[in-house]
């Protein structure tokens, strides 16, 4: 089974082009940037879709040179919105997707910045009595942790298995 990736571009081509994915590369997700050859140069494109085929004349297809991102640059809702805008304004989807990105991501370098959020407890949360949350053990556990540590990074919240629903519910109560 051969994997073919459809790639869209910023300005050079207004429709998706197909490329072969080398066997030693992982399948990039839809919305990731890849480096692919067009004529005599390598160009950054965004993975539009992919398909598995048996009957392909793969001699005519060029290979993906490099995968620049392993996580999509667009959420599902943003992807749908940008596709809708492309259709509504009759504008190439590649140009719409690239215009939605910051300039740094239009270049070959991988995205160097890791975004992290930190949750902090308010003064009201510090004095809130945990015994008022006996019916909500997840919220009680989260509040107890916050009262001890005062602030927690988003990574640690994931490690502690604190749900976003519990955090939002706590926020409403304080």
Kindly list the averaged pLDDT for each block of 10 residues, start to end, along the chain of length 174.
87 86 88 92 92 73 90 92 95 94 77 67 86 88 89 85 86 76
Q: Give the per-residue pLDDT at 114.
A: 59
Q: Give the per-residue pLDDT at 37.
A: 94
Q: Give the per-residue pLDDT at 99.
A: 94
**Nearest-angstrom CA–CA distance, 18 and 37:** 11
User: 3-class DSSP state for residue 16?
Assistant: coil
Q: Give the per-residue pLDDT at 174.
A: 63
CATH code of domain 2-106: 3.40.1440.60
DSSP code per residue over 52-75: EESS--TTSSEEP-EE--SS-SS-
Q: Give the per-residue pLDDT at 60.
A: 80
Q: Give the per-residue pLDDT at 121.
A: 87
Q: Give the per-residue pLDDT at 98.
A: 93
Domain map (residue ranges) of the chain: 2-106, 118-173
């Amino acid at each position: 089974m051969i994997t073919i990736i459809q790639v869209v571009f910023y300005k050079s081509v207004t429709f998706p082009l197909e490329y072969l994915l080398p066997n030693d590369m992982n399948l990039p997700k839809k919305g990731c940037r890849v480096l692919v050859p067009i004529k005599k140069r390598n160009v950054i494109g965004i993975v539009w879709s992919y398909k598995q085929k048996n009957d392909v004349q793969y001699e005519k297809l060029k290979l993906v040179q490099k995968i620049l991102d392993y996580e999509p640059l667009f959420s599902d809702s943003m992807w749908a919105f940008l596709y809708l805008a492309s259709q509504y304004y009759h504008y190439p989807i590649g140009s719409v997707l690239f215009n939605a990105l910051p300039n740094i991501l239009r270049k070959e370098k991988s995205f160097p910045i890791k975004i992290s959020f930190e949750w902090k407890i308010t003064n009201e949360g510090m004095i809130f009595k945990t015994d008022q949350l006996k019916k909500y053990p997840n919220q009680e556990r989260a509040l107890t942790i916050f009262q001890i540590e005062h602030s927690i990074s988003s990574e640690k919240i994931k490690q502690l298995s604190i749900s976003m629903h519990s955090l939002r519910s706590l926020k409403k109560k304080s």
